[in-house]
Structure 1
């Protein structure tokens, strides 16, 4: 396998001890770290993948997880890196000489990890085809079977890691031994109980278990990788007629308790990796065969299409729900004695049922809040019964762990919670109804007054319009009268002018007649003069 010279060292995140053992093996839980991680705004409403590894101390668990971190940072966003989901990076393993960072690890005989440690930076992925949002958490666990941890604590760590995870990697060396399988058997009674009470359901108490066998020494019989591992695991878990009951029990437990179980056979990593105390994780010092198988198994576990979501009874859990389950399991395991399987089972049922009750009650309250202002006083109880009936149907239709008695018990609890909620919002509704009536009365009176004022304003406006119209009409009539007067005056003036002209004409005729008469008279006079004898001239004296 070839790689490009590209570093995938990550500056984000750190190991956080969410659980450790105090004095007297008392369990100490870091609730703040749990809340910070699982209630983070980018995580709490996402579906969760919980990837965990468990096994004997000093067998390379943290080393394996650190290469998982390198893959995750190269191929996913995270709450600290804030980058978009990148394309798949086939060269995620990084530079050959790049030191390994992440969870602390080292070779030797002393344990390095204590309790349960979670990587603080949570990885984010959005499925492109569906838009489904997923968060991926990585957990490391204290190495088992050292000289400082009691068998009870070994069992508690094993139990917690398996209960919390959606993928549990059981890191073993050489072969699968019977005493190692016995540490799975702690949950046998729980698994049987869960299988019995969930008949007809696909829900099993645990999800995916991977036996990761390191330093596999028989590749000629079963080849390296998951295919050879599947063949080997099938042979190991085969139930035989002559087996002792406890051996059969373990094998039966695995088949009824895990959704899937598989095995991967890994080569020896090389002398430098296994023996040198100063080895810092550079893959150039690994045997090539080991490096190739390491790349293959990590991609099979963590590529987007291979992610396994955390479920309880076949229901995908979100960040805030996972936090509740983890915290309840930690509380359950506080005692020095490993709890009975029945108590683990009951705790799981109780937590799931209480989450379901909260969800149903929230739906009931939202319905009441949305409609309470629309209700009349005598309809409150009717509405309560209708909402209660719908909520109980919702409760009945949801998938649940447990049997009919569990369902009946928590249904009664839900009914009691709804009655309590009804009494609370009924009092508020009665006050609200009274206030609404008073406000309605005030509003109606205000509307009446407003309507009266509007009508008065309309009437005043109508009168004003009528007066204005009358004035306009009077103006028009006056204009017509003025025009008529002007026309009559003009006609009168024309008649007077005509009379004057006629009088002038008559006067002119008279003058003409007078002149004619004078001419006639003059003519007659002249005629008369002509007819008279001229007078006798007298002599005149000249002075």
Structure 2
């Protein structure tokens, strides 16, 4: 999410006044879902024009890009110092001549998402300002730039060149006096108006001191003490205005860093600068990176948006904001912020009981307790000197806001109770209808079950009856089958016997034919006797038997007219010699 550009938050107009710009763009970015609940940190820089503020900020930009990409460790100085280290290396515009190029206040279009030393993810913005003390700007503009930058930044870098001299400290004293004036009218106790101030001496003329934090802090305190001896109580003004105050001595960047074509490369940078810029950024952007706070409360991006929106009202007039206007605005912002905090706590408490669906009596009891607690918190906040009447006014505003909030809650609760009552009635009606439907369904189910049982019983009886009938039929069939088989067997035996007799008769007839004695019709009585014998033994072919009898009878009746054959051979015996013909007695022996 590293920023790709910067835009102006405040610009100079034709009358050399400071006017707000792109405020809505900044506020909308702060309230987007990806960062709105994330703590915010703003680092700002102020100082004289053409003293390398933008160059320093471009180095910080490259360092923050590397920190965002590798959150587990602080990047090596070689990974961010040189311009070829990252794309879009110079985010802040640098002047190619002796005139400053930054006008007004500029800020990165997106935050750097950085993991702080305690593991918290912080949205970090860089804030660049136009140079102070140039010949084209009013002194009041310089004061406004310093105060506004310090007001909205969690860390302000005061950039000076070569020597932390009396002029630089006097300028700081003037700014701090304005801040101290705000503070004296603003807070009681040990609270401070602004957060952290770092006085960075660039291209420091070291002499007997060493570059870095230790000698930078020592030199700062020595110079402040010198100012105090001259009856300029700079140290008192500054320490009253800022939470912390530190100094750092930075060696020279390169031999000729002011040339128009100069770029930061490994060949052009002094090793001492390379070493100490790493030490400086390790603390400012690393271990000492802190979120924006007011009265000890850490602000998220969304909360800071509300604070910043109030600050921008300072730019709506036709002139540069004065310290008194800033004082008035900050007092109002602080009162309103305190009231909003107390109101938010009241809402949090009252909505807890709203989740339990309370009665109006229980809601009113909880409302009274929560309101008393919120008003107590507001009244216990640090009171501005000579602002007791205003404190009471905002306390009354808080009471009115809470009562208005409570009226809305009561209306919502009444609507909820009515809806709940209507729902209960509707539920009871539905339950009664459901019970009736269930009873009817039970009755229908019982009827259906009874019908099914009757049908099952009838089916069972019918099945048993059919099974009995089938069993009887199987038994009858079995008997008939047995009887059929028995008769079939008997008929087969009789058929065989008949066949045997017929075969025997045929043989005997053939034998008779072969005999030369007697006539062939003399054998007809024997044939009839044989047929009677066969019929008496069980031959069932009645029709054929009747036809044979009829044919035999006709032959007998017509035998008288049949001429008797004449046998020429005397060797053939007649039937008379054989005696009567019987089927059981016919044999070839008698022939």
| TM-score normalised by length of structure 2 | 0.69
Tell me which moved more, 183-192 or 163-172.
Answer: 183-192
| Unpaired segments ≥5 residues, structure 2 | 472-591
1:352–1:400: 8 Å Cα contact kept in structure 2?
Answer: no
Residue aligned with 1:284, SS: coil
Deviations 1:387-424 (A, max 9, x none): 35235535645898532956654443233123223333
Report the CA distance between 1:337 and its aligned residue.
Answer: 5.1
Q: How many pairs align?
A: 460
Q: What's the counterpart of residue 498 of structure 1? A: none
Aligned counterparts of 2:79 and 2:112: Cα–Cα separation in 1: 15
Q: What's the counterpart of residue 194 of structure 2? A: 206
1:54 aligns with 2:46: yes
Aligned counterparts of 2:117 and 2:250: Cα–Cα separation in 1: 33
Tell me which moved more, 85-94 or 107-116.
Answer: 85-94
Pick the aligned partner of 2:74 from 83, 88, 94. 88
Pick the aligned partner of 1:134 from 105, 122, 129. 122
Cα RMSD of the aligned pairs, angstroms, is 3.6
Aligned counterparts of 2:342 and 2:135: Cα–Cα separation in 1: 45
1:62–1:105: 8 Å Cα contact kept in structure 2?
Answer: yes
Pick the aligned partner of 2:102 from 101, 113, 122. 113
User: Cα distance 1:403–1:190, how it changes in 2: closer, same or farther (>3 A)?
Assistant: same
Q: What's the counterpart of residue 328 of structure 1? A: 310
1:258 aligns with 2:250: no
Larger radius of gyration: 2
User: Cα distance 1:353–1:448, how it changes in 2: closer, same or farther (>3 A)?
Assistant: same
Aligned counterparts of 1:25 and 1:186: Cα–Cα separation in 2: 21
2:140–2:320: 8 Å Cα contact kept in structure 1?
Answer: yes
Report the CA distance between 1:480 and its aligned residue.
Answer: 9.0
Aligned counterparts of 2:268 and 2:312: Cα–Cα separation in 1: 40
Tell me which moved more, 183-192 or 204-213.
Answer: 183-192
| TM-score normalised by length of structure 1 | 0.74
Tell me which moved more, 439-448 or 59-68.
Answer: 439-448
Residue aligned with 2:44, SS: strand
1:441 aligns with 2:425: yes
2:49–2:133: 8 Å Cα contact kept in structure 1?
Answer: yes
Where relative contact order (Cα < 8 A, 6+ residues apart) is larger, the structure is: 1
Q: What's the counterpart of residue 191 of structure 1? A: 183
Q: What's the counterpart of residue 523 of structure 1? A: none
Deviations 1:9-42 (A, max 9, x none): x995112111112133443212123224322322
Residue aligned with 1:192, SS: helix
Q: What's the counterpart of residue 175 of structure 1? A: 164
| Unpaired segments ≥5 residues, structure 1 | 1-9, 78-83, 488-543
Q: What's the counterpart of residue 256 of structure 2? A: 272
Report the CA distance between 1:353 and its aligned residue.
Answer: 1.9
User: Cα distance 1:407–1:325, how it changes in 2: closer, same or farther (>3 A)?
Assistant: same
Pick the aligned partner of 1:312 from 280, 284, 294. 294
2:350–2:370: 8 Å Cα contact kept in structure 1?
Answer: no
Deviations 1:156-188 (A, max 9, x none): 001001111111000012224242222322111
1:15–1:119: 8 Å Cα contact kept in structure 2?
Answer: yes
1:352 aligns with 2:343: no
Q: What's the counterpart of residue 13 of structure 1? A: 4
Residue aligned with 1:237, SS: helix
Q: What's the counterpart of residue 236 of structure 1? A: 223
User: Cα distance 1:41–1:418, how it changes in 2: closer, same or farther (>3 A)?
Assistant: same
User: Cα distance 1:208–1:431, how it changes in 2: closer, same or farther (>3 A)?
Assistant: closer
1:288 aligns with 2:271: yes
Aligned counterparts of 1:292 and 1:485: Cα–Cα separation in 2: 116
